[in-house]
């Protein structure tokens, strides 16, 4: 059987109840879809989730990182002839068939390389995840959040918060918590950069994709995300965050990045229309 649509969820010692909700969101849709569960956990305890013919469980205990694990699934998706692939966090869930709506929109515009829906907290409030390209200053300021008045002005611009909430637009940075990939575009620009263990790999892929394709925020559909912001709570994760930030800015430029300035300027100008 050829699966035209695939998805992948990377696991690591996850809460089974939360993870099952994410998996069921896909299984409850009457679609020809395949789900790859890439398990980076030390043991295969989560293999019990492989309970449906549409699921393929892959134990990956060497734990190469978030992007590298998703790349395993993306390669398999390309090999089985898929056209579209969803990258999904294990704490994502949704109601109804948002998959068809997103893939149909992408299918009607071959210039789209990536898409993300509106991301909601469990209380229904919006997570402001589409962004301009980051600078070292913007990353630092999001951690410090002071002085309050200046920060408020900065974050509204950086996270495009003043854009009409139902507007579809081309944002240079999309979150990796729920992303639709056009695999034809991935074949051209490449998959996730394995240099990142966790954090910034989605920003890196967004930027590379945005150079040649549209990276679309699509708020006509939404998903729920149990966002924890681990880097703000764990010293170990914060160290990983810092290491990934260094990798990102070494690759793209720290304070002198003409392309970043131009892309951000073009994005803001396009959203004035």
Q: How far apart are CA 132 and CA 246, in angstroms?
A: 18
Q: For residue range 178-214, list pLDDT tens digits in order.
A: 999 999 999 999 999 999 999 999 999 999 999 999 9
Contact of 117 with 102, CB cutoff 8 Å: yes
Q: How far apart are CA 202 and CA 211, in angstroms?
A: 14
Q: Is the pLDDT of residue 76 over 90?
A: yes
Closest CA to 116 of 64, 173, 76, 74: 173
Tokens of 126: 């919006």
Q: Is the pLDDT of residue 255 over 70?
A: yes
Determine how many CB atoms are found less than 10 A away from the CB of residue 254. Answer: 12
Task: Give 196's strand partners.
Answer: none
Pairing of strands 112-120, 178-182: antiparallel
Q: How far apart are CA 260 and CA 207, in angstroms?
A: 9
- Per DSSP, 133 falls in state P
Give the mean pLDDT of 229-255: 84
Contact of 199 with 231, CB cutoff 8 Å: yes
Q: pLDDT confidence of 32, banded at 50, 70, 90? A: confident
DSSP string of 84-111, one letter each residue? EEEEE-TTEE--S-HHHHHHHHHHT-TT
- Per DSSP, 132 falls in state P
Q: Is the pLDDT of residue 230 over 60?
A: no
Q: Is the pLDDT of residue 28 over 70?
A: yes
Q: For residue range 77-105, list pLDDT tens digits in order.
A: 999 999 999 999 999 999 999 999 999 99
DSSP string of 171-197, one letter each residue? -SB--TTEEEEEHHHHHHH-S--TT-S
pLDDT score at 161: 94
Lowest-confidence segment of 74-78, 80-84, 212-216, 232-236 by average pLDDT: 232-236
Determine how many CB atoms are found less than 10 A away from the CB of residue 74. Answer: 23
Torsion angle of the four alpha carbons 139, 142, 144, 147, in this order, in degrees rounded to the nearest 10: 120
pLDDT score at 234: 76
Mean pLDDT, the chain, integer: 92
Q: pLDDT confidence of 124, banded at 50, 70, 90? A: very high
Q: Is the pLDDT of residue 229 over 90?
A: no
Q: Is the pLDDT of residue 221 over 70?
A: yes
Q: For residue range 35-67, list pLDDT tens digits in order.
A: 999 999 999 999 988 888 899 999 999 999 999
Which pairs with CB-CB distance under 8 Å and at least 24 residues apart come from 252-259?
252/204, 252/207, 254/136, 255/135, 255/136, 257/133, 257/135
Tally the C-alpha atoms within 13 A of residue 47's C-alpha that lie toward its C-beta.
8
Give domain 5-132+164-231's CATH architecture. Answer: Alpha-Beta Complex (3.90)
Is the dihedral angle over the CA atoms 121, 52, 59, 67 positive or is it negative?
negative
């Amino acid at each position: 059987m050829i699966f035209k649509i695939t998805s992948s969820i990377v696991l690591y010692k996850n809460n089974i109840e939360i993870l099952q909700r994410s998996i069921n969101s896909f299984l409850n849709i009457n679609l020809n879809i395949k789900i790859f569960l890439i398990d980076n956990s030390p043991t295969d305890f989560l293999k019990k989730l492989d309970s449906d013919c549409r699921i393929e469980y892959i134990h990956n205990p060497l734990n190469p990182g978030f992007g590298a694990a998703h790349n395993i699934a993306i390669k398999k998706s390309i090999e089985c002839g898929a056209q579209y692939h969803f990258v999904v966090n294990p704490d994502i869930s949704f109601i109804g068939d948002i998959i068809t709506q997103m893939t149909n929109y992408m299918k009607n515009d071959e210039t789209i390389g990536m898409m993300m829906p509106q991301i909601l907290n469990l209380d229904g409030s919006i997570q402001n995840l589409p962004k301009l390209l980051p600078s070292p200053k913007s990353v630092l300021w999001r951690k410090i959040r002071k002085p309050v008045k200046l920060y408020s002005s900065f974050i509204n611009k950086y996270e495009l918060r003043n854009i009409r909430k139902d507007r579809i637009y081309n944002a240079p940075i999309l979150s990796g918590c729920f992303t639709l990939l056009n695999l034809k575009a991935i074949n051209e620009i490449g998959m996730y950069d394995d240099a990142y263990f966790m954090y910034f790999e989605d920003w890196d892929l967004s930027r590379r994709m945005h150079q040649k394709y549209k990276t679309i925020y699509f708020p006509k559909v939404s998903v729920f995300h149990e966002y924890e912001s681990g880097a703000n709570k764990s010293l170990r994760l914060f160290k990983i965050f810092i290491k990934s930030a260094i990798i990102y800015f070494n690759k793209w430029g720290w304070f002198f990045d003409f392309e970043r300035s131009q892309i951000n300027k073009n994005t803001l100008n396009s959203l004035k229309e």
